[in-house]
């Protein structure tokens, strides 16, 4: 990328950003009497009105429990929930409807996967993760490793935040039973070469799980084309409600895996002697599901489809370039994560200023960013820093917000 | 000056600033007057670890009065510490235990002591009072 393209303001011709902004009621809010600048989208995204209306409509006109009721409302709620499953299936390019399992979020998906998949393993088997994983893609594997006496192997990353694939290849052995890596890093922004990782792992017949929490809202995802065996993401990071997420899994794996949680909805027959489990996807969906969350997530995906994920990706990549180049004009800025392919996440430190101070002062100027270790303490240890300031942008952010951000950051700098 | 009088002096000082940024500039200036903890005390024993910033605190009893020293890696945490120490240092354990410290609320900095904040200051304030309680118990023995 040449210098000129880096400093160019994002073109809004492909995307009508002001009309997108008008769909998000919260973006009209003020904090401390200043217009809200929301740059904490990697933590959670805001919700468009159509998602809010959809949830309101569910509770006002057809709230009912699903799958079991014979009455009108139950049928309507069941249909809406199963329609959402189909929308999500099509959106991520899954072959089958029942390959979409609803969970509480990416953390829920990864816990389900780690528990259930590792039940099939024997002592001495190995799982490979990477050093840039969110704690949610580390700790569930550690717990499973402890229970089943498995070994956890870790792919390191290089200085610019790219995975060290040469070491990855060396870590693979006949004991490797699964690879679980993130599609995009929540701290460094790196988009990992997941297709290549999957291709390498599959050469050794090793399945691959992809943590899509930071990718699903930024990039087109096609699980069949990617050929991943599992893909996890959260609803609230793709303009949907909190408390809902998805675990996609290839049917051949989900069929073999034992249930994770048990109770209602997931059974076929229960007696005190023996219980048989229901078919996919219900085998993995114990209890009354998060119906409003599922329907809301379906509507959020509809919003993303209407906006156009490819257009959004192009616009966000321009925002990222503009943001990065403007940030670099401030002396004493250190950016963590400078891989050539990134989602719109920028982690940085201002020389001599603690990230907590930067975050608090930006907040007082109406700017929401995240500070701290971002649930990736191994990354902080690698760089030997207490934390970073992280600005993460979404489709409704603008270059003028970036200008205000840069101006505000300069003001923070002057205070020290 | 009583604790309440010291609190009032701080409230008066901060009332001069209407803008948040001026208020925080003043807070960061306060950090510079913080009685620094002796480097040898900057150990895990004296550390209150927040999720984001860390605070070290020590307390000593001299002539029946408690003297606090502290440090933090973040300037805002350090500023809040400086204010708390301005109010609570050189007081008896009894007075420290009685102190309600509503001045932080009045000047609009109470959020830094709420449990939502990741800076460890809320745990640190508890530790300041715990030191006072320890000295009180000890002096009665």
Residue B16, Cβ density class (10 Å: 0-12 exposed, 13-18 middle, ≥19 buried):
exposed
- Examine the pLDDT at B71 and tell me if it is beyond 90: yes
Overall average pLDDT of the A178-186 stretch: 98
CB pair distance less than 8 Å for B74 and A416: no
A113-165, pLDDT tens digit by residue? 999 999 999 999 999 999 999 999 999 999 999 999 999 999 999 999 999 99
Residues 6-35 of chain A with CB under 8 A from chain B are 32
Higher local confidence (pLDDT), A257 or A3: A257
A306-356, pLDDT tens digit by residue? 999 999 999 999 999 999 999 999 999 999 999 999 999 999 999 999 999
Residue A257: what pLDDT? 97
Residue A97, Cβ density class (10 Å: 0-12 exposed, 13-18 middle, ≥19 buried):
middle
Rounded Cα–Cα distance for residues A40 and A297 (Å): 20
- Examine the pLDDT at A228 and tell me if it is beyond 90: yes
Residue A8: what pLDDT? 75
CB pair distance less than 8 Å for A356 and B28: no
Considering chain A, what is the average pLDDT of its residues?
Answer: 95
Higher local confidence (pLDDT), A407 or A274: A407
Residue A167: what pLDDT? 98
- Chain A residues with beta carbon closer than 8 angstroms to that of B20: 32, 364-365
Residues 85-124 of chain B with CB under 8 A from chain A are 112, 118-119
Is residue A1 very low, low, confident or very high in pLDDT (cuts 50, 70, 90)?
very low
Is residue B114 very low, low, confident or very high in pLDDT (cuts 50, 70, 90)?
low
Residue A328, number of CB atoms within 10 A of its CB: 13
Rounded Cα–Cα distance for residues A94 and A117 (Å): 20
CB pair distance less than 8 Å for A354 and B119: no
B11-59, pLDDT tens digit by residue? 999 999 989 899 999 999 999 889 889 999 999 888 887 767 888 999 9
Residue B117: what pLDDT? 61
Which of B20, B25, B73 is the closest to A354 by Cβ? B73
Is residue A278 very low, low, confident or very high in pLDDT (cuts 50, 70, 90)?
confident
- Chain A residues with beta carbon closer than 8 angstroms to that of B21: 361, 364-365, 411, 415
Is residue A127 within 8 Å of residue A115, measured between CB atoms?
no
- Chain A residues with beta carbon closer than 8 angstroms to that of B51: 372-373
Does B3 contact chain A (CB < 8 Å)? no
- Examine the pLDDT at A67 and tell me if it is beyond 90: no
Does B74 contact chain A (CB < 8 Å)? yes
Rounded Cα–Cα distance for residues B107 and B18 (Å): 10
Percent of chain B with pLDDT over 90: 62
Q: Which residues of A6-30 are buried (b: 16+ CB within 10 A; e: fewer)?
A: eeeebeeeebebeebbebbeebeee
Strand partners, A367: A37
Rounded Cα–Cα distance for residues A127 and A179 (Å): 6
Is residue A349 within 8 Å of residue A388, measured between CB atoms?
yes
- Examine the pLDDT at B126 and tell me if it is beyond 60: yes
Nearest to residue A39, comparing CAs of A304, A293, A404? A404
Rounded Cα–Cα distance for residues A63 and A61 (Å): 6
Question: DSSP secondary-structure letter at A11?
Answer: P
**Nearest-10 Cα torsion for A206, A209, A210, A211:** -150
Nearest to residue A184, comparing CAs of A320, A343, A337, A353? A343
Q: How far is CA A365 from CA A75, A368, A396, in A?
A: 49, 9, 19
Here the tokens at position A114 are 């780690």
Q: To probe the interface with B, which of A31, A354, A373, A390 has the most B CB atoms within 10 Å?
A: A354
Here the tokens at position A106 are 């990416």
Here the tokens at position B131 are 């030191």
CB pair distance less than 8 Å for A415 and B51: no
Does A353 contact chain B (CB < 8 Å)? yes
Q: What's the gap in Å between the CA of B99 and the closest CA on chain A?
A: 27
Rounded Cα–Cα distance for residues A11 and A371 (Å): 29
Name the least confident of A297-306, A400-409, B124-133.
Answer: B124-133
Rounded Cα–Cα distance for residues A414 and B24 (Å): 12
Here the tokens at position A181 are 């890596």
The total number of residues written for chain A in this structure: 416
Catalytic site positions of B: 51
Rounded Cα–Cα distance for residues A267 and A280 (Å): 11
Q: How far is CA A145 from CA A202, A235, A392, in A?
A: 22, 28, 33
The distance between the two most distant Cα atoms of chain A, rounded to a whole number of Å, is 72
- Chain B residues with beta carbon closer than 8 angstroms to that of A386: 52-54, 73
Here the tokens at position B84 are 């708390």
Nearest to residue A87, comparing CAs of A266, A225, A287, A246? A246
Is residue A292 within 8 Å of residue A241, measured between CB atoms?
yes
Q: Which residues of A50-62 are buried (b: 16+ CB within 10 A; e: fewer)?
A: ebbebbeebeeeb
- Examine the pLDDT at B123 and tell me if it is beyond 90: no
Here the tokens at position A320 are 């990222």
Residue B116: what pLDDT? 61
Rounded Cα–Cα distance for residues B129 and A193 (Å): 53
Residue A4: what pLDDT? 47
Nearest to residue A17, comparing CAs of A307, A301, A304? A307
CB pair distance less than 8 Å for B53 and A415: no
Rounded Cα–Cα distance for residues A207 and A225 (Å): 15
CB pair distance less than 8 Å for B75 and A355: no
CB pair distance less than 8 Å for B76 and A360: yes
């Amino acid at each position: 990328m040449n210098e000129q393209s880096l400093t160019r303001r994002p073109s809004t011709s492909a995307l009508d950003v002001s009309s997108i902004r008008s769909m998000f009621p919260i973006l009209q809010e003020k904090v401390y009497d200043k217009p809200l600048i929301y740059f904490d989208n990697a933590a959670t995204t805001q919700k468009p009105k159509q998602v809010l209306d959809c949830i309101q409509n569910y509770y006002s006109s057809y709230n009912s429990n699903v799958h079991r009721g014979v009455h009108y409302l139950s049928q309507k709620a069941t249909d809406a929930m199963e329609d959402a499953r189909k929308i999500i299936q099509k959106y991520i390019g899954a072959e089958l409807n029942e390959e979409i399992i609803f969970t509480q979020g990416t953390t829920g998906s990864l816990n389900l996967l780690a528990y259930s998949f590792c039940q099939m393993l024997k002592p001495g088997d190995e799982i490979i993760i990477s050093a840039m994983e969110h704690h949610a893609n580390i700790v569930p594997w550690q717990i499973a490793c402890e229970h089943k006496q498995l070994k956890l192997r870790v792919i390191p990353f290089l200085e610019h935040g790219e995975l060290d694939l040469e070491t990855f290849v060396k870590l693979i052995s006949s004991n490797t039973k699964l690879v679980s890596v993130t599609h995009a890093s929540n701290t460094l922004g790196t988009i990992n070469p997941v297709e290549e990782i999957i291709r390498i792992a599959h050469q050794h017949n090793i399945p691959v799980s992809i943590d899509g929490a930071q990718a699903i809202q930024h990039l087109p995802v096609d699980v069949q084309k990617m050929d991943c065996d599992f893909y996890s993401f959260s609803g609230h990071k793709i303009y949907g409600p909190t408390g809902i997420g998805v675990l996609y899994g290839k049917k051949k794996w989900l069929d073999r895996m034992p249930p994770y949680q048990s109770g209602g909805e997931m059974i076929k027959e229960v007696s005190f002697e023996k219980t048989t489990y229901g078919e996919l996807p219900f085998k993995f969906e114990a209890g009354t599901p998060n119906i409003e969350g599922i329907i809301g997530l379906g509507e959020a995906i509809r919003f993303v489809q209407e906006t156009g994920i490819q257009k959004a990706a192009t616009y966000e990549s321009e925002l990222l370039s503009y943001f990065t180049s403007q940030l670099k004009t401030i002396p004493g800025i250190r950016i963590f994560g400078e891989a050539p392919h990134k989602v719109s996440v920028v982690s940085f430190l201002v020389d001599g200023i603690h990230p907590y101070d930067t975050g608090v002062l930006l907040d007082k100027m109406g700017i929401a960013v995240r500070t701290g270790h971002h649930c990736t303490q191994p990354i902080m240890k690698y760089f030997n820093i207490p934390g970073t300031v992280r600005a993460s942008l979404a489709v409704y952010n603008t270059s003028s917000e970036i200008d205000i951000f840069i101006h505000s950051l300069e003001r923070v700098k002057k205070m020290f | 000056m009583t604790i309440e009088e010291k609190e009032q002096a701080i409230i008066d000082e901060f009332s001069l600033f209407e803008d948040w940024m001026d208020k925080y500039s003043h807070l960061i200036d306060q950090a510079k007057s913080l009685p620094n903890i002796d480097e040898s005390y900057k150990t895990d024993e004296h550390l209150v670890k927040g999720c984001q910033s860390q605070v070290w605190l020590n307390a000593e009893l001299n002539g029946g009065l408690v003297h606090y020293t502290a440090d933090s890696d973040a300037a805002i945490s350090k500023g809040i510490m400086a204010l708390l120490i301005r109010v609570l240092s050189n007081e008896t354990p009894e007075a420290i235990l009685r102190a309600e410290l509503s001045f932080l609320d009045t000047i609009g900095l109470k959020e830094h002591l709420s449990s939502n904040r990741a800076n460890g200051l809320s745990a640190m304030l508890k530790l300041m009072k715990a030191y006072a309680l320890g000295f009180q118990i000890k002096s009665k023995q």
